Structure 1
Amino acid sequence: MRWIRVYVKRHRLGICMYSLFCVIFATVLFLYRMPMEPMVYAVSLCLTLAVIVLITDSVRYRKKVEILTWQLEAVKEGTEKLPGPEDEIEQLYQMLLKNAQIEHARQVGNILQEKSEMTDYFTLWTHQIKTPIAAMHLLLQQEIRLQAQEITVQEENKAQEQYYMQKQEIESELFKIEQYVEMVLQYLRLNSSVNDFVLQEYELDGIIRQAVRKYAPMFIRRKLSLHYEPLQVKAVTDEKWMTFVLEQILSNAIKYTSSGDISIRMENGCLVIEDTGIGILPEDLPRIFDKGYTGYNGRSDKKASGIGLYLVKKILNKLGHKILIESEPGKGTKVKLLF
């Protein structure tokens, strides 16, 4: 057994010294031509005592090993308790461990404090930046109206079309900024120690309409059709987080669908969101939920962050929902959500 080998190795010096003394003792008796019987008796007595001591000490060592082995599991729960030290060396080792534990706890506390401060800062930043974004939307609307009033009659149609296109492009970029800001906020909330999930029974149609309403301008801008009929299905979920999940799925569907349509329906008990976009390569499918993984489509797009589906998967895990993605390159992608 391993512990026996370890014990013998740990006490090899004492065992060797005791054996050497027995040999010296027997040699001296032999040289003085002592009778064989008392010599054998003395050596046997020494060996017997040695075996008794070794067995007793090894049993004690074995129990100590078992206690320390149990404490390894207790460390995970913070209930570990070291056995009492037997000598000064063990006492020093235990003091060293306690000091290391105190220092580790201090460093972990500092890290958690820094993380909390960083989370608070970025949460505040994401809320503050929404104000100038809203102001930019308002100023853009005013600027477009003023410029439209100044153009001549001959230039009216052409200029209005040009201004409308510029307005669309600016609004599209502002919408992307809002998306990125919202993603940062949800990422911080998801990784914070505060439980922000509230599970209730909701009508899925209400949640779906929120996501569709937000992306309606993108559907119009990209000339995509949406096939959606009221589902009249209830599910126990979190409205805010589920809305974010659907927004991310719709965002990907719109981004990678240049023409065709997107459909939302119930299929075999699953909420299905299907598009007719470029699809996902088979080798990318197993890793699409990995943090930072963008796959072939993301590398082609040059702007993908690889965070959206990672957040979707993490949120759904916390909600107790499941997600399955099926895709065929060139034909589209089907996302299934099971509540």
Structure 2
Amino acid sequence: MKIHKENVLLLYLHKNWKPLVLFILFAFCFTIVFSLSHLPIAPILYSIVLCLYIGFLFFIVDFFKFRKRYKALNHLQKTITVQIGPFPAPKNVIERQYQELLQIVAKHKNEWTVQADNMKKDLVDYFTKWTHQIKTPIAAMRLLLQSEPSRQNAELEMELLKIEQYVEFVLQYLRLENMSNDLVFKKNNLDEIIKQAIRKNAKMFIRKKIHLNYSDVTCTVLTDEKWLLFVIEQILSNALKYTKEEGSISIYMKEKLLIIEDTGIGIRAEDLPRVFEKGFTGYNGRSFFQSTGIGLYLCQQILTKLSHAISIESEVGKGTKVMVDLEIRAIGVE
């Protein structure tokens, strides 16, 4: 606190050094004139002391006013992001003009913020409608491909599955910001959620001849079924993407941890601390051109809002182990 007062005093002296120097210069000039006029020394000293006393009182009062304004402006720094003002009363026309300029800037900033929010809302609404509408032609294409079974159609159906996953990915990404309004917490059978994710990726397992190690999980978890299903699907999709043909993927529980382990290419040690960063693709993403850098970021964000947690262990050439902690930690109100 003492340092704060000393700083304010230094700021005040820096602001008013010109009047102080001018006051001292005037006192010195009067002293020289009086002494050259051969006046008695007593009146001269009396005048100097009186001027110093009056000047001291003036600067004391002015300093306390300055400190009060300084504290008011410091307080404004904490609330300026919410609202502009109220400012201390301006001391002169220059201060008033500065305050008017800030009011104008704040007004324009609010207008631009509203405009940007409206544009973002329109964009989200457009892509949300697009993702829903694109599902119809995807479903029609799947029916057409299934109506004429062939090796080529099977390959096309796999690519169509990827498109469907990417569409679902976009939809969930758009919903992420306001997902709290869409959460429905209840006790869910984890085994059913996992099996839904496996069924959705069954054709990819068959195509790549990847062995699945999974036995029924007798576990119920307090969560939102739809969002947890999306996370498990995303983790499984990554495991399938980076596991070579005839590899294996294991899904099992260890206490409250859901573990999805693959025998894929693995993740470099230097990339592991950043795998949950938005847009980070790492060595694998740059080498295989399949990573968007959004999937694991999205998983972590969703699991955080579900009050779960996610962590990854990996070794290059041996595989990756993704661990989802399904224990409820703390559900906050947003």
Match of 2:10 in 1: 5
Q: Which runs of 5+ in 1 are unaligned?
A: 145-162
- Tell me if 1:122 matches 2:127: yes
**Deviation for aligned residue 1:171:** 0.9
Correspondence 1:132-147 to 2 at 5 A: 132-144=137-149
Correspondence 1:83-94 to 2 at 5 A: 83-94=88-99
* Distance in 2, Cα, partners of 1:244 & 1:193: 13
Correspondence 1:141-160 to 2 at 5 A: 141-144=146-149
Report Cα offsets for 1:240-261 as digits up to 9, x if no partner.
Answer: 1111100000001111111322
- The answer to whether the Cα contact below 8 Å between 2:180 and 2:305 also exists between their aligned partners in 1 is no
Task: Give the residue type in structure 2 aligned to 1:273.
Answer: I
Match of 1:220 in 2: 206
Correspondence 1:138-287 to 2 at 5 A: 138-144=143-149, 163=150, 165-192=151-178, 195-258=181-244, 259-287=246-274
Report Cα offsets for 1:264-320 as digits up to 9, x if no partner.
Answer: 111132111111111111011011111121111112211221111111111112212
- Tell me if 1:131 matches 2:133: no
Taking only aligned residues, the RMSD between alpha carbons, in angstroms, comes to: 1.6
Distance 1:210 1:56, change over 3 A: same
- Tell me if 1:332 matches 2:322: no
Match of 1:302 in 2: 289
* Distance in 1, Cα, partners of 2:201 & 2:189: 20
**Deviation for aligned residue 1:193:** 8.1
Correspondence 1:90-105 to 2 at 5 A: 90-105=95-110
**Deviation for aligned residue 1:166:** 1.1
- The answer to whether the Cα contact below 8 Å between 2:84 and 2:106 also exists between their aligned partners in 1 is no
Size of the aligned set, in residue pairs, is 320
Match of 2:113 in 1: 108
- Tell me if 1:63 matches 2:68: yes
TM-score normalised by the chain length of structure 1: 0.90
* Distance in 2, Cα, partners of 1:67 & 1:203: 57
Which is further off, 231-240 or 34-43? 231-240
Which is further off, 117-126 or 199-208? 199-208
Report Cα offsets for 1:72-107 as digits up to 9, x if no partner.
Answer: 112244485322223322222221111111110000
**Deviation for aligned residue 1:177:** 0.6
Task: Give the residue type in structure 2 aligned to 1:13.
Answer: K
* Distance in 1, Cα, partners of 2:180 & 2:133: 21
Q: Which runs of 5+ in 2 are unaligned?
A: 1-5, 327-334
**Deviation for aligned residue 1:61:** 0.7
* Distance in 2, Cα, partners of 1:317 & 1:176: 26
* Distance in 2, Cα, partners of 1:314 & 1:81: 38
Sequence identity percentage = 48
Match of 1:151 in 2: none
* Distance in 1, Cα, partners of 2:97 & 2:127: 45
- Tell me if 1:321 matches 2:308: yes
* Distance in 1, Cα, partners of 2:184 & 2:205: 31
**Deviation for aligned residue 1:52:** 1.4
Distance 1:196 1:93, change over 3 A: same
Which is further off, 29-38 or 194-203? 194-203
- The answer to whether the Cα contact below 8 Å between 1:119 and 1:192 also exists between their aligned partners in 2 is no
Match of 1:75 in 2: 80
* Distance in 2, Cα, partners of 1:87 & 1:194: 50
Equivalent residue in structure 1 for 2:277, among 286, 290, 294 = 290
Match of 1:148 in 2: none
Match of 1:17 in 2: 22
Task: Give the residue type in structure 2 aligned to 1:88.
Answer: V
* Distance in 2, Cα, partners of 1:65 & 1:242: 52
Match of 2:331 in 1: none
* Distance in 1, Cα, partners of 2:320 & 2:222: 26
Report Cα offsets for 1:310-334 as digits up to 9, x if no partner.
Answer: 1111111221211010011111111
Which is further off, 191-200 or 14-23? 191-200
Task: Give the residue type in structure 1 aligned to 2:238.
Answer: N
SS of corresponding position for 1:281: coil
**Deviation for aligned residue 1:198:** 2.5
- The answer to whether the Cα contact below 8 Å between 2:84 and 2:103 also exists between their aligned partners in 1 is no
SS of corresponding position for 1:265: strand
